[in-house]
Amino acid sequence: MKRSLPWLPMLLAVLLLPLTGCEAIGEIFKAGAYTGIIGVIVVIVLLLWLFSRFFRRG
């Protein structure tokens, strides 16, 4: 019996994100510290929102 792995594409995407992370961090610091702080907060809030929706359905 074959098990379905619906979370596998998300896992692969999360594993590939650090590959572009250094370039993104460099651009954030070029833009300024406050822009970087706001950007990080926005990303964290979005991730928390996505994870809460994902785990609420299960």
Q: pLDDT by residue (tens digit) across 18-52?
A: 666 677 777 777 778 787 788 889 999 999 998 88
Q: Is the dihedral of CA 20, 26, 28, 30 positive or negative?
A: negative
* pLDDT class of 3 with cuts at 50, 70, 90: low
Six-digit token string for 33: 């510290």
* pLDDT class of 1 with cuts at 50, 70, 90: very low
How big is the CA angle at 52 (ends 39 and 45), to the nearest 5 degrees?
A: 10
Least Cα distance to 6 among 50, 54, 56, 43 occurs for 54
Contacts with 40 (C-beta within 8 Å, 6 or more apart), sequence order:
28
